Amino acid sequence: MKLEQNEKSMLFSETTIPDIFFTEYMAQMPGDYVKVYLHMFFLSKYNKDIKINDLSKLLSIPYKTIEDSIKYFEEYNLVLKKGKGYAMVDLQENALHQLYKPNLTLSPEKIEANSKNKSRAKVIDYISDTYFQGSMGPLWYNQIDLWFNKYSFDEQVMIALFEYCRSHNALHKNYVQTVAEAWGSQKIRTWSDLEKYDEAREKLTQIKKTIAKKLGKRNGLTEYEEAYIEKWVCEYNYGMDVIEIALKRTTYKTSPTFEYINNVISDWYDRNLKTAKDVQEFLEKRKIQNKNVKKLEKQVSKAEYEQRQYSNLEFLYANKQIDKKGEANG
């Protein structure tokens, strides 16, 4: 492949990386990808043809990693496919384009309202100082403003969003966007909404741990097993008191599965049983019904047996009458 940029004498030249690279891209980029990008940026000044295999040997990075890094650069618009090679994208020009393009979708009234929102501006400055050491990239400002508008987060929730991502060592746009999307889908708008959401998530986490312990899942639950539990708790609104009743019923099974437990709990939900008391009363009624059915079956079996005995006696009596007639005729 060929990398292009203005050629200069290597002895007197220097490679200048725009600050936008450090504020917007480097933090979320894998370490080996950073090495590849910087070296490509350096080589692009000399219009040199370079092969991926050569890069792999030069940087001591696996061939596949080099390929993956170039795909990553294309995806994030860091390099541009050009003929048989690549051209390095002007990051500053690209950032400028991204900064102003979203604003075209906002009405003049909204833009004016955002510019006058002093409390929001203070929050953005606080985020820059607290989470980016005062050097937050310009694209972040625009992104935060869009999140305010899209999800209607209040200032406390926006700060909590960045605190949450930092606590998970993932303070980059893709992750923050994913969390913001999740909170938005849960209709989190205020600090009170967020507290209720956190309480629900904590309850769910505790229930998962309890179920794993009771079922002897020492290696933890699978993704699909957790999905079942989330349905019971979040969709069916069942607590551990109801779920435990279902778990106890697995003792009657030799190899109980989560699918079996799910079928039991889903049946209760379909019957509109909302509490542990409702479930216990239902099971007690079913137990009585089963006893009555068994009693009835015994009665039917006894009646059938007596009927068979009666039929057999009739048959014997009939045979004796025939034998007597035969003897008389003889």
> What are the φ and ψ backbone dihedral angles of 80, each rounded to 5 degrees?
-125, 125
Q: What is the mean pLDDT of residues 243-254?
A: 84
The pLDDT of residue 169: 87
For residues 27 and 126, the model is more confident at 126
Confidence bin at 143 (pLDDT 50/70/90): confident
Percent of the chain with pLDDT over 70: 78
The pLDDT of residue 226: 92
pTM beyond 0.85: no
Q: What is the mean pLDDT of residues 128-154?
A: 87
Tokens describing residue 110: 């909204």
Q: Is 87 exposed, middle or buried (0-12, 13-18, 19+ CB in 10 A)?
A: middle
C-beta neighbour count of 128 within 10 angstroms:
17
Dump the DSSP string for 62-104. Answer: -HHHHHHHHHHHHHTTSEEEETTEEEE--HHHHHHHHHHTGGG
Confidence bin at 28 (pLDDT 50/70/90): confident
Question: Which of 18-22, 52-56, 236-240 is predicted most confidently?
Answer: 236-240
Confidence bin at 64 (pLDDT 50/70/90): very high
The answer to whether residue 95 scores a pLDDT higher than 80 is no
Q: Is 175 exposed, middle or buried (0-12, 13-18, 19+ CB in 10 A)?
A: middle
Q: Helices 223-230 and 191-214 sit at what angle, rounded to 10 degrees?
A: 120
Percent of the chain with pLDDT over 90: 33
The pLDDT of residue 314: 58
The answer to whether residue 109 scores a pLDDT higher than 70 is no
Residue pLDDT, tens place only, 269-321: 999 999 999 999 999 998 888 787 777 767 666 666 556 655 655 555 555 55
Cα separation, 299 vs 104, whole angstroms = 82
Positive or negative torsion for Cα 224, 227, 231, 233: positive
The answer to whether residue 104 scores a pLDDT higher than 50 is no
**Burial letters 156-165, b for 16+ CB under 10 A, else e:** ebbbbbbebb
Least confident of 112-121, 132-141, 265-274: 112-121
Dump the DSSP string for 152-203. Answer: ---HHHHHHHHHHHHHTT--SHHHHHHHHHHHHHTT--SHHHHHHHHHHHHH
Specify whether the CB–CB gap between 162 and 127 falls below 8 A.
Answer: yes
Confidence bin at 234 (pLDDT 50/70/90): confident
Confidence bin at 80 (pLDDT 50/70/90): confident
Confidence bin at 181 (pLDDT 50/70/90): very high
